[in-house]
Amino acid sequence: MADGQSFPRAVVLISGRGSNMEALLRADLPVTFAAVISNRLDARGLAIARNLGVETAVVDHREHPSREDFDQALAAEIDLRAADLVILAGFMRVLTDGFVARYQGRMINIHPALLPAFPGLDTHARALAAGVKLHGCTVHFVTPEVDAGPIIAQAAVPVRDDDSVESLAARVLAQEHRLYPMAVRWLAEGRLRLTPEGRVALAGAAPNDATLIAPSD
């Protein structure tokens, strides 16, 4: 895990096991991971983060009477760490417009589908039901509309005739663990920019990998 005062400071938000969080923490990125924060005290990823030397905190959504109150408490924890970047990694809360605006352009998420297809939940089951031949994952900037922000990068996997939800999910997750660290690196290095059309462009060379679909200038 990279560290250093010159690196942007990042907070990772999780709700569960945090496998994408762990992939990020182990990726030797040009980022100082200031904290991992969960809305659930029993999130398994908290122990993983502590074992990797990263501070953790819990902001329990059940202790707050409204989404707005919860988001205010969450923002206070993030701002306490002077975070430059907010990285959602399996964070299962819909954020308010005000929270999203507070971190606009520096908050990203990974979604287990090739957006704009299959936003929301149960993406693998829906992909199988639809009979698509390609499925995958998407890293995108967070906007008030859920799973609709500008796309940073995508990774695709074939859908096999004998796939179950579990087998397809496992293949997609392996790509998530490759794609998310790459996208966070681009963001930390300042290589991403929004075009006037609202698309994301990447400065410099993109990876030469057929399983990756990435923006370029």
Indicate the angle between helix axes 123-130 and 165-188, nearest 10 degrees: 120
Q: What share of the chain is helix, strand, coil (3-state, %, to 5)?
A: 30, 25, 45
The Cα diameter of the chain in Å comes to 49
CA-derived radius of gyration, the chain:
17
Determine whether 64 is an active site residue. Answer: no
User: DSSP secondary-structure letter at 64?
Assistant: S
Q: Of 161, 138, 160, 163, which is closest to residue 148 (Cα–Cα)?
A: 138
Residue 90 and residue 76: Cα distance in Å, rounded?
Answer: 20
**Choice among 61, 111, 124, 140 that is catalytic:** 111
Residue 107 and residue 95: Cα distance in Å, rounded?
Answer: 11
Annotated catalytic sites, by residue? 111
